[in-house]
A and B are shown apart, each in its own frame.
Chain A
Amino acid sequence: MSRKPLRPREHDASDESGLQLASRLVALVRSGRAYSVKHIAFTQQLENFLVLLRPSLMERQVVRFEAPEGDLCLNGERLPLRSPLHRQAELLVAEFDARTIAGLEFTTDVSLTALQAFFEYFLVSERWKGDDLIQASQSAGILGVRALSVVPVAASAGASAAADELPETLGASREAWAALYAGTQQLFSGDALDQGIELRHLKRLLQPVVDAVLAGDRITAALAHVAPGEPRSAHAMHVMLAAVTTGAALGLSRRDLADVAIAALLHDSGHDWGANALDQDDSQPAPHTLEGMRRMAWVTTLNRNSLDAMRAALEHHDPCTSMRHGAQPALLSQLVGIADAYVTLASRGGKCDERLSPASALARVIGPLRSHWHPALVVALVQALGLHPPGQVVELDDSSLARTLAPVSDNPERSWIQLLVDDRGRTLPRAARVAGPLPEGRRITRALPIGEWPAELRRHVA
Chain B
Amino acid sequence: MAAWCDDTARLVHLSRRRGSDDFDVRALRGRLLADLVVIVQDHAPFALEVTPRSIVLDDEPVFEAENSNAPVGERALERELSWVLHRDGVRALRFERGLDEREAGHLLDALLSAAPASATHEDTVTLLWEAGLEHVSLRTEEQSPVRTNPLHQQQAEIAVPHADDWLLPSDAPSDVRRAWAEMSGTRAAAVADFRGEWTRERQQPFADAIEAFAARMHDTDPRPETAEALAAAAVTWVATSMQRSDWLEAGRAHQMLRRIDPDGQHSTESLTHAFGSVDGAAITERLDEASTTEQARLFAFSVHVGAPALPLLINILGLSGKARVRAGATTALAYAFADDPAPLGRWLADSRWHVVRNVVFVLGQIGGIDVIPHLAVAARHIDARVRRAAIHALGQVPLFQRRAVLLQQLDQSDSRLLAAALTMLAREPDPKVSDAILAHLQAAEFESRPEEQKIALLTAYADVAEERAIPALDEVLNRGGWFARRAPERTAAARALARLGTPVAKLVLEAGLRHRSEAVREACDEALAQWGRA
Contacts and interface: CB of A to CB of B under 8 A. Distances in A.
A231 B160 contact: yes
Contact of A307 (B143, B151, B213): B213
A192 B198 contact: no
Contacts of B198: 250, 252, 256, 331
A395 interface: no
Nearest to B240: A301
Interface stretch (A44-52, A67-75, A424-432): A67-75
A376 B186 CA distance: 9
Contacts of A234: 162
B288 interface: no
Contacts of A209: none
A126 B176 contact: no
Interface stretch (A106-114, A355-363, A454-462): A355-363
Contacts of A388: 176
B153 A150 contact: yes
A60 interface: no
B179 A232 contact: no
A377 B193 CA distance: 11
Contacts of B382: none
A280 to B, nearest CB: 13
Contacts of B72: 124-127
B142 A130 contact: no
A66 B180 CA distance: 58
B169 A200 contact: no
Contacts of A152: 154-157
Contacts of A379: 183, 187, 190-191
B236 A307 contact: no
Nearest to B157: A189
Contacts of A150: 148, 150, 153-154
Interface string B156-183: 1111111111101111011111011001
Given A317-B165, A326-B216, A376-B191, A69 B145 contact: no
Given A233-B157, A250-B194, A268-B162, A190 B173 contact: no
Contact of A325 (B129, B156, B166, B216): B216
Given A195-B146, A251-B195, A363-B173, A294 B126 contact: no
A233 B146 CA distance: 14
Interface residues of A, number: 125
Interface in B177-219: 177, 179-180, 183, 186-187, 190-191, 193-195, 197-198, 201-202, 206, 209-210, 212-213, 216-217, 219
Interface string A326-350: 1100111000000011001101110
Contact of B132 (A203, A205, A254, A375): A254
B270 to A, nearest CB: 11
A366 B195 CA distance: 20
A256 B202 CA distance: 9
A195 B152 contact: yes
Contacts of A131: 144
Contacts of B132: 254
A199 B147 CA distance: 11
Interface stretch (A8-16, A21-29, A179-187, A216-224): A179-187
B496 interface: no
A137 B183 CA distance: 59
B145 A197 contact: yes
Given A127-B72, A303-B120, A387-B177, A179 B142 contact: yes
A366 B176 contact: yes
Interface string A289-318: 010011101101111101100110000010
Contact of A198 (B143, B176, B236): B143
Nearest to A294: B229
Contacts of A230: 161-162
A237 to B, nearest CB: 11
B413 interface: no
Contact of A375 (B121, B157, B186, B219): B186
Q: Which of A205, A317, A341, A344 counts the most chain B CB atoms within 10 A?
A: A344
Nearest to B191: A376
A319 to B, nearest CB: 12
Contact of A102 (B154, B177, B190, B221): B154
A235 B162 contact: yes
A93 interface: yes
A406 interface: no
A128 to B, nearest CB: 9
Given A254-B132, A369-B169, A363 B179 contact: yes
B392 to A, nearest CB: 42
B524 to A, nearest CB: 69
A97 B202 CA distance: 39
B246 interface: no
A374 interface: yes
A113 B462 CA distance: 79
Given A124-B72, A344-B165, A190 B145 contact: no
Contacts of A362: 176
Interface in A170-229: 179, 183, 185-193, 195-205, 207, 229
For this complex, into which size category does the number of interface residues on chain B fall? 35 or more
A42 interface: no
Contacts of B233: 297-298, 300, 302, 306, 310
A435 interface: no
Nearest to B197: A331
B533 interface: no
A96 interface: yes
B145 A187 contact: yes
Contacts of A375: 183, 186, 190, 193-194
B154 A186 contact: no
Nearest to B88: A200
A256 B123 CA distance: 16
Contacts of A356: 168
Given A154-B157, A344-B164, A382-B180, A374 B217 contact: no
Contacts of A364: 168-169, 173
A103 to B, nearest CB: 8
Given A195-B147, A326-B219, A303 B173 contact: no
Contact of A186 (B119, B144, B165, B166): B144
Contacts of A340: 166
B226 A290 contact: yes
A256 B197 CA distance: 14
A191 B233 CA distance: 19
A40 to B, nearest CB: 20
Interface of B: 52, 72-73, 89, 119-123, 125-126, 129-130, 132, 140-166, 168-171, 173-177, 179-180, 183, 186-187, 190-191, 193-195, 197-198, 201-202, 206, 209-210, 212-213, 216-217, 219-221, 223, 225-226, 229-230, 232-234, 236-237, 240
Nearest 6 A-B pairs (CB), nearest first?
Answer: A326-B216, A376-B194, A368-B169, A189-B157, A202-B145, A235-B162
Given A179-B142, A254-B132, A344-B166, 5 more contacts: A192-B146, A195-B152, A207-B126, A298-B232, A375-B183
